[in-house]
Amino acid sequence: MFKYQFRWDTVWGSFDFLMGGLQMTLIISAITLVLAMIGGLIIALLDMSRFRALRWIGISIGEVVRNTPILVQLLWVYYVLPIVFGVRIEALVALIIGLALYQASFISEVYRSGIQSVPKGHREAAQVLGLTPLQSFNRIVLPQAIRMTLPPLASNFVQLIKFSSLGAVISVSEITRRGMELSATNFRPLETFTFIAVVYFFICWPLAMAIRFWERRLQAR
Amino acid sequence: MSNPSPLILADGITKRFGANQVLTRVSLEVLERDVVCVVGPSGSGKTTLLRCLALLEEPSEGRVVMEGVPISTPSPDKQVKAAARDVRSEIGMVFQHFNLWPHMSVLQNLIEAPIRVKKLPRDKAVAIAESLLKKVDLLEKRDAYPARLSGGQQQRVAIARALAMSPKVLLFDEATSALDPELRREVLAVMRQLAREGMTMLVVTHEMGFARHVGTRTVFMDRGEIVEAAPGSAFFDAPQTERAQRFLQQFADE
């Protein structure tokens, strides 16, 4: 270990290749976040539905997704969905579907707690003043709930950046996959994976700190 | 029914939450310009009665009648629901915990319902809001957010918000209970002023001084029933029932 000759030049030499992977990672994370926000809203609406059957569907999706490993889900989407539906799914599409579904099940909880964080009295005040339930939701509940859900949504984005590395397993060409490919040709896993870990860290850490700051400010209000 | 016909009337209201019966055949009428104060130990059903009149709870039995029209009954039909919608904003309510909307400024809190419900043009709603803020002596706080105000100020804004819909009757649900004594005074002063101006009010309160000196009628509730009702200060000078005497005794000890 002490005699190890670092060869960082093997990493710098492939800097553009790795950064291309990072770009892919960020694009995947962003697209997935948007889809997960929409999916989360659908699951949350199902959960809170008046109809028992819809509630049951929403709750079942959430429970299944939250209680199975994300990696198994990705493999399932990539390998099993094509068998069931007889269509070939691109690895990238499979990754985005799998991640979006996974995050959606958590984001639905974020929405729900956001809505429930608005005190009942605020809605009663609206009701007594004659606002309709829809007006009350749009004007009183939603603006407050959104403010509460933004920091957790941002945290979900950070999580997605990390989880998207699982795409490497189904050979999506994001930064981790490219690192695997690089280390297989330069035989320098230490430099390669250390560099990649550092890249992840310096993207996720500032974001996480910013979110913590943001949450503290919201709580102080 | 007595004459003149009551502005708002609780007609034999029973309210159950599951197996728990909170109100038992409570009847209470509020005439125009009445200031009816409802007193009684906690858990006596005062707040539930008020919430029934505010249409926040549906009675299990009995009904709420406003100016001769039923507006709330157990499982109301279309006609009752339509009547309720029509008079909804004529029944104002002031809550124990103010319930101002924290994401809106004081002014926005006041103009929201007039603009959305009464469809008032914005400048008109603002003019009304400003005159009401002047009345509760908080015009300089018009652009502040509720979190920046003291409890007493928040409650005065909440009263102004209720007044902005020009309600025919204003219900107060222990409006001063969440406040420190020195802040209570400023809220009570506003309530007293409203009473003087002839506002019809139904006031659930622990403020015996207010009930005695401002109320036109005092209603004593215990265990979900109206035990005693007397005009003005008569209730305090000569309570008829033993339960009322015992209740008032606590305040004499203070």
B7 near B32, Cβ under 8 Å? yes
Q: What Å distances lie between residue B196 and A69, B30, B121, B164, CA to CA?
A: 68, 16, 30, 18
How sure is the predictor about A10, in pLDDT bands with cuts at 50, 70 and 90?
confident
pTM of the model: 0.83
pLDDT at B215: 94
Question: Which residues face B39 on adjacent strands?
Answer: B220
Over pLDDT 70: what percentage of chain B? 98
| Mean pLDDT to the nearest integer, A149-156 | 89
Model pLDDT, residue B2: 47
Distance from CA of B88 to the nearest CA of A (A): 5
Spatial separation of the C-alpha atoms in residues B80 and B87, rounded to whole Å: 11
Q: Which stretches does DSSP call E strand in chain A? A: none
Angle subtended at Cα B98 by Cα A141 and Cα B224, rounded to the nearest 5 degrees:
105
Three-state secondary-structure class, residue B168: coil
Query: Residues B56-82: pLDDT tens digits?
Result: 999 999 999 999 999 999 999 999 999
Nearest CA-CA distance, residue B167 and chain A, Å: 9
Q: How high is the pLDDT of residue B114?
A: 97
Whether chain B has a CB inside 8 Å of the CB on A150: the answer is no
Q: A147–B103: do the CB atoms touch at under 8 Å?
A: yes
Convert A37-60 to b/e letters by CB count within 10 Å (16 or more is b): bebbeebbebbeeeeeeeeeebee
Mean pLDDT of A127-151: 92
Question: Which band of pLDDT confidence, cut at 50, 70 and 90, is reported for residue A5?
Answer: confident
Q: Is the peptide bond before B239 cis (omega within 30 degrees of 0)?
A: no
Residue A197: what pLDDT? 95
C-alpha distance from B105 to closest chain A C-alpha (Å): 13
State the CB neighbour count (10 A cutoff) for residue A151: 20
Give long-range contacts, CB 8 A cutoff, 24+ apart: A168-172.
Answer: A169/A71, A169/A74, A169/A75, A170/A74, A170/A75, A170/A78, A170/A91, A170/A94, A170/A95, A171/A91, A172/A24, A172/A28, A172/A91, A172/A92, A172/A95
Q: Which residue has the tokens 């819909």?
A: B165
pLDDT per position as a tens digit, A157-195? 999 999 999 999 999 999 999 999 999 998 899 999 999
Residue in A129, A147, A221 nearest the CB of B89: A129
Residue of B122, B123, B125 lying closest to B165 (CA atoms):
B125
What pLDDT score does B8 carry? 95
The residues, any chain, with a CB within 8 Å of residue B216's CB and separated by 6 or more, are: B33, B34, B35, B36, B231, B232
pLDDT higher than 90, residue B55? yes
Place of tokens 């009665």: B49
CB-based contact B128:B142 (threshold 8 Å):
no
Q: What is the C-alpha to C-alpha distance for residues B194 and B191, in angstroms, rounded to an integer?
A: 5
Q: Do B55 and A128 touch (CB under 8 A)?
A: yes
Residue B252 pLDDT grade (very low, low, confident, very high; cuts 50, 70, 90)? confident
Contact call for residues A70 and A57 (beta carbons, < 8 A): no
Compute the distance between CA of residue A105 and CA of residue B78 in angstroms, rounded to an integer. 39
Yes or no, beta carbons of B112 and A144 under 8 Å apart: no
* pLDDT higher than threshold 70 for residue A221: no
pLDDT for the residue numbered B4: 67
Q: What is the pLDDT of residue B202?
A: 97
Q: For the residues A43-49, what does the mean pLDDT come to?
A: 89
Dihedral sign, Cα of residue B103, residue B105, residue B110, residue B113: negative
pLDDT of residue A1: 58
pLDDT digits (tens, 9 = 90+) for A50-100: 899 999 999 999 899 999 999 999 999 999 988 888 888 899 999 999 999
Nearest to A131 among B92, B117, B158 (CB): B117
- The answer on pLDDT for A119 being more than 80 is yes
Nearest Cα of chain B lies from the Cα of A43 at a distance, in angstroms, of 27
Closest C-alpha among B69, B34, B30 to residue B49: B30
Cα–Cα distances in Å, from B186 out to A163, B69, B133, B159, B176?
Answer: 57, 36, 14, 12, 10
CA B114 to each of CA B54, B56, B124, B127: distance values in angstroms, whole numbers, following the listed order: 18, 20, 9, 11
Model confidence band, residue B136 (pLDDT cutoffs 50, 70, 90): very high
Mean pLDDT (chain B) is 93
Inter-chain residue contact B116 with A135, CB threshold 8 Å: yes
Tens digits of per-residue pLDDT, B148-177?
999 999 999 999 999 999 999 999 999 999
CB B195 within 8 A of CB B46: no
